Structure 1
Amino acid sequence: MQDLRNEFPALNKQVYFNSASSGLLSKSLLDWRRAHDVDYYNNGVDFVQRKEIPEYARGSVARLFDAKLSETALVPNLSFGINIVLDGLSKGQKVLLLREDYPSLRWPVETRDLDVCYAKIDEHLEDNVLQAVEKHKPDIFMFSIVQWLSGIKIDFEFLKQLKFKYPNMLLVADGTQYMGTEHFSFKDNAIDVLGASAYKWLCAGFGNGFMLIKEDVQDRISPKTIGFNSADTFDSKPTDTRFIKYFEPGHQDSLAFGSLDQAIKKVEQIGIQHISKAIKSHTHHAIEGLIEKGLLPNASKSRKGHSSIVNFTGNRELFKKLATNNIICSLRGGGIRVSFHYYNTIAEVDTLLKLL
């Protein structure tokens, strides 16, 4: 992993524990993006090539996350995709949300004509969800796989049990703070609909993301968005539109989705198992140190299989001290949020712990 740090010049001047806000841009991705735009500048637009690039990205997303091409849509970000899904649902459905979950999940639900109920986010997350499901009998459960404030990660085995008990309940997940941190199989997971922006843990830059929608639930969603790119040819009729293409109206951004394709190829080149091992090592080391210093809240301390995000006790003054020492992190949820990627090191974690 040490050699891969040369791909990220931003690491030379700072300790970057802020991938939960944005992943870093690699040198190889910058080179590809530059070549893409230079070709456009010198030669104009090759529309055949520009249409092929997003298809390469679709294939890369489906391959990395074990999904079918017919289940994989390219979107500019999670918010765009989630709104399309919600507009495609029949009215009056009951939706279970997690309180203080990411706004891009909560706000689109809370501002629509939907019956909303909530479960609490704490160390007993799964029990809270089960109790809320049993009490409210929701049609849909929408949640983030990893919580943006605390780093609490929902248990996938729990989701399988929940789906077995309530097979008609639609599970809709935000994977933005998770996808790219460890191996994930959409085929084998209980989640029905999963969306993610790719600028964080996939380090794909801005303006790209994806939606994964299982074939057996696509008939429950009737997207309203449509545009020429939704069609196969100029002679196509609107009614000929394939389900997944309703998420892709208009011209796709070849720079953005080419970046997604290149970023996933980088993940495959490194190996997701090596990325996951590094992330877990750094996170475990940080959690042990924070527990020793009495800075880790109970909600995180008692959880097994913590995510790559850790929020510890600290105020604005401590945050400023860390920034002064070139440790880049975020003030979130009344504490200080740090996040660890494969391009970080144990030595950097020790630097943080020593300052604390």
Structure 2
Amino acid sequence: MRLKTFTADTMNDAMALVKEHFGEDAIIVSTQTGEGGSGVRITAAIDQVEDEYGFEEDVYEDELYHDPIEIITDALLTNGVPPQLSDDLIATAEEMALEDPVLALAGAVDRYFSFSPMPLGTAEKPILLVGMPGAGKTVTIAKLATKIVMQKQPVRVITTDTVRAGGFAQLEAFTKILKLNLISAGTPEELRAAVKGAEGRGHVLIDCPGGNPFDDQDIARQARLIKAVDADVVLVMAGGTDPMEAAEIAAIYRELGARRLLLTRIDMTRRFGSYLSAAAVADLMLTDVGVGPSVADGLRPMNPVTLARLLLPHSVVQDFDDEQPEARGAYG
């Protein structure tokens, strides 16, 4: 599918441009008021047709992808960013008045979101990971522990996942490789005692069991564990979640104390609307991201430029930036 945004003084003029470029088969995706409240902006789409020599999209990008705001608008639409958030980011990017869409989008997300790396330089508070089952918390704990050990700093790993079959064994397999003793704490009281016993002995990483944020009893159990200790609470979310669902989940965990959002599986994610939606609605700081399922893949820091590269088409990023993105984004 090909996407393009058309701007004109009136709706009739804008529709005429749509028909001129895309013909009668065009699909109107969205309509917006133009910059400064005047005029009309229409985003239209048409099914992509493949011929024997390749895709028309290559020609389309070369000939029509010249306006950085059009590029950003199409990218946000493709990524499934909610309309209001998308409008805010586009308006901010327009204020930048930059020809480079990577820098314009980076500036917009930098103004709209907060970025905060995982606090591994200090051991002031335990790091406690929360989230839904299968989000990647256990592997993320292993990645964090590996990074700390490689930096030759002490670390204690605590798991409260004593119910799920194999939950303890999975994390224990990682900690044994690192020559760490895995501490089990199944209740708030046990967790409090385990953290107190680890005070002054380096970093403390806590793996909470996955829970259902829409189940009152389940969320109450998670809340008791979180409130048992004074920790940096990080919400771990897998890429590819529905944006509305992600926002609702993030808001619930924000109430429980989460302040950072860590995204996993970005190597298997092509649309990042849920990531932006969750952070915006719950006012969460964007922190490191997990690229692959292996502990060796580690975690990588997220910043405005990195996020802009993930959101924009590869061809655009390559045209405006010599650095190649390490992870594939929405247009992979």
- RCO greater where, 1 or 2, for CA within 8 Å and sep 6 or more? 1
Same fold (TM over 0.5): no
Taking structure 1 as the reference length, the TM-score comes to 0.33
Indicate the structure (1 or 2) with the bigger Cα radius of gyration: 2
Structure in which a larger fraction of residues adopt strand = 2
